[in-house]
Amino acid sequence: MSDRGFRKSFSFRLFRLFAGIMLVLAPIFTLGVISYQKDRITADLIREGKIISMLLRNNLRTWVFAENVDRIRDTLNDVIGSRNIDSVEVYNSKGEIMVRQHTQRHPDMEAAPQPLDIGSLRFLADDEGSFQVLRKEGTIDILSPVTMESSANADEALYFDIKSDQKKISRIGYLKTRISKDVLSSEVRRIIIRVTIGFALAMLAGLVVLYVMVRKVTTPLTDLAEQVRRFGLGEPVEKVSALTDDEVGRLADAFNSMAENLHMREAETRALQERLKQSEKLEAVGRLARGIAHDFNNILSTIQGSVYLLEKKFSDHTMIVNYTSQIQNSLVRARGLIQSIIIFSKAKTMSRRPVELNSVIRRLEPALRTIAGEEVLLDLSLAGNDLVILGDAVQIEQLIVNLSGNARDAMPEGGRLSVRTKELVIPERSAGEAEGPEPGSMPGYGPGRYALVEVADTGIGIDERIKDKIFEPFFTTRENGKGTGLGLSIVYGIVEQHQGHISLESEKGAGTTFTISFPLFERTAKNRILVSEVGTHG
C-alpha cells in the first residue's frame, strides 16, 4: 500500500484516534495521580511531624520549665537528624526563642529567628493532641504548646466549682517543628516517570490489541474491496469469506449474492447472444436455401413431367421403364429434400393454434414405430394432463420425427428410443425472498409453466467437440450422401418459432437426451376466446 493509501486507510485512522485518546488521557491521569499522591504524602508528613512534636513536648517539658537551654539542645539533637525534619524551635511562654536546631539543608536559616506571635495562635485545647499546622511554600510548620500540669489550688476550689482532684494545665512554652516538603517533589518526579512508562506500555499493549482487532475487521473489508475492484474490471471474483455476523459479514453476504446473481445474468445473456447468433446464421442460410429450393422445385417439376411422358411413350420397353422408375424414386427423395429445405428456411409459414402435445405424439406412434424398426424398442411416456401449446402441429410432428430419426441412427445395434412429455412449473420469485437461483430452476427459463418434450436414446452419444456444431445447417457426420445435416437445424428453427428452448445431454457410448420446452398455453379469458375461435387442433 502506498504511504498516502496507508494514511487514508481505516486502520491508520483508528490507530491515530487511539493514540490521540491515550495522549490526552495520559497527562490528565498523571495530574490526577500526582494530586492524589501529593495529598497523601502531605498528610503523612503532617502525621509524622505531629508524632515527633508530641514526643519532643514530653521530653522537653521539664527542661523548658527549668529554662535549661543545654538540655533542650541535647534533646533536640536526637531528632534533628530525622529524614524530613528541617528545624525545631523552642520558645518560652512569652514567645521568645529559646533554642533553634536545624539541619544542614537550609543554611539560610542562620538569620535570627523572629519571636512567636502568640496572639495569632489558635489551639483547640492545651492538651496532648492540640496542634496548629501552617502550610508554607516548601515546608510545613507544626506548632504546639509545651504544657505543664499542676494540681488545682484547694482555695480556688472553695470559690469556684472545681473538684479538688482536678488538674490545672498551663503553657510553659511553644514548640515549632518545621517539616521539609523536599520528599514531595522527588515523589512527583517518580510518579511522572512511572506513569509515563506505564502509559507507554499500555499504549504498546493497546496498539497490539487494536492491531489484532483492526485486522479482524479490515481483512474481510480489504478482501471485499479487492473483489469489488476486480468485479469492476470484469475479472472473475471469488467469494468473500464472511466469518462474522456483524455489518461486515452482512456486507460480504450481500456482495456474494450480488456477484452470484450477476454471474447468472451474464450466463443468461451469453446464452441469449449465442441463440441470436445461431438464428442470424440460420436466417442467412435460410434465405439462400429458399431461393435454391424454389428454382429446384420448378426444375424437378419439369424433369418429373418429362419422365412421366417417357414412361408413357416407352411403356413396352422394360429396360426404359426400369430406368424411369429409378429416376422417379430419386425425384421423390429430391422432393423430400426440397421440402426439408423449405421447412428449414421457414418458407412455410407457421400456423398458430392451440396444440395438445400428447395427442400429437399418440397420433404419430405408428410412424415412430416404423422409424424405430425391429431392433429399437419404442417407449412412450406421456404426461397425465393435457399439455396445450400455441403452435403448428405439423411442425411439432416434424420435430419429433427428426429427433427420433437421429436417435434410431445412433443405435445401429438396437436400443431404446424414449419419447416423454411432462409439465415444468418454475415458481414466481416471491417478494422479499433472498436473491439467488430458485431451487429447481433451470438456466434459460423464467418463472412460468412449460411443456417438456424429451427424446432420448441409448445410442453412441455425441462427441463433446461437435456438440455446439450439430444445430448448424448442413453439419453431418454421416457418410457422403446419407445425411443432409439439416435435420437438427430444422428442429432448431421449429423450436425458435414456438418460442421454445432446446438443450441436450449426451454421454459418449451411453446415449443422448434432447429436451425441448414450450411455454404452456394458459387458459386465460383472452386465450379462451382464441381457443373457441380456432378449436383445438390435434
Residues that bind Mg ion (CB under 5 A): 406, 487
- x/- letters, 487..516, toward ligand ATP (CB under 6 A): xxx----------------------x----
Rounded distance, CA 303 to CA 479, Å?
27
Residue with cell 405408428: 366
Asked if 410 interacts with ligand ATP (CB under 6 A), we say yes
Question: Contacting ligand ATP (CB under 6 A), which of 477, 497, 515, 536?
Answer: 477
Q: How far is the CB of 535 from ligand ATP (least distance, A)?
A: 33
Burial label, 183 (beta-carbon count in 10 A; 0-12, 13-18, 19+): middle
Instruction: Collect all residues with Cβ–Cβ distance below 8 Å to 146 and sequence separation of at least 6.
Output: 57, 60, 61, 64, 90, 171, 172, 173, 174, 175
Asked if 227 interacts with ligand ATP (CB under 6 A), we say no
Q: How far is the CB of 263 from ligand ATP (least distance, A)?
A: 31
Asked if 339 interacts with ligand ATP (CB under 6 A), we say no
- x/- letters, 430..469, toward ligand ATP (CB under 6 A): ---------------------------x-xx-x-------
Q: How far is the CB of 488 from Mg ion (least distance, A)?
A: 6
Q: What CA–CA distances, in Å, run from 345 to 111, 273, 523?
A: 131, 21, 31
State which residue, 52 or 486, has the beta carbon closest to ligand ATP: 486
Rounded distance, CA 308 to CA 315, Å?
10
Question: Contacting ligand ATP (CB under 6 A), which of 98, 378, 453, 470?
Answer: 470
Q: Which stretch binds ligand ATP (CB under 6 A): 233-241, 289-297, 343-351, 474-482?
A: 474-482
Q: How far is the CB of 413 from Mg ion (least distance, A)?
A: 19
475 binds, among Mg ion, ligand ATP, none (CB under 5 to 8 A by kind): ligand ATP
State which residue, 193 or 332, has the beta carbon closest to ligand ATP: 332
What's the grid cell of residue 70? 543545654
Instruction: Output the CA angle 67-70-72, nearest 5 degrees.
Output: 65
Q: How far is the CB of 402 from Mg ion (least distance, A)?
A: 6
Q: Which stretch binds ligand ATP (CB under 6 A): 33-41, 74-82, 142-150, 477-485?
A: 477-485
Q: How far is the CB of 249 from ligand ATP (least distance, A)?
A: 49
Cβ atoms < 10 Å from Cβ of 425: 10
Rounded distance, CA 216 to CA 462, Å?
52
Q: Report whether 257 contacts 435 (CB < 8 A).
A: yes
State which residue, 175 or 376, has the beta carbon closest to ligand ATP: 376
The DSSP symbol for 223 reads: H
Rounded distance, CA 379 to CA 403, Å?
14
Task: Kindly give the pairing relationship between strand 415-426 and strand 448-457.
Answer: antiparallel
> In the complex, which residues of this chain contact ligand ATP (CB under 6 A)?
406-407, 410, 457, 459-460, 462, 470, 475-478, 483-489, 512
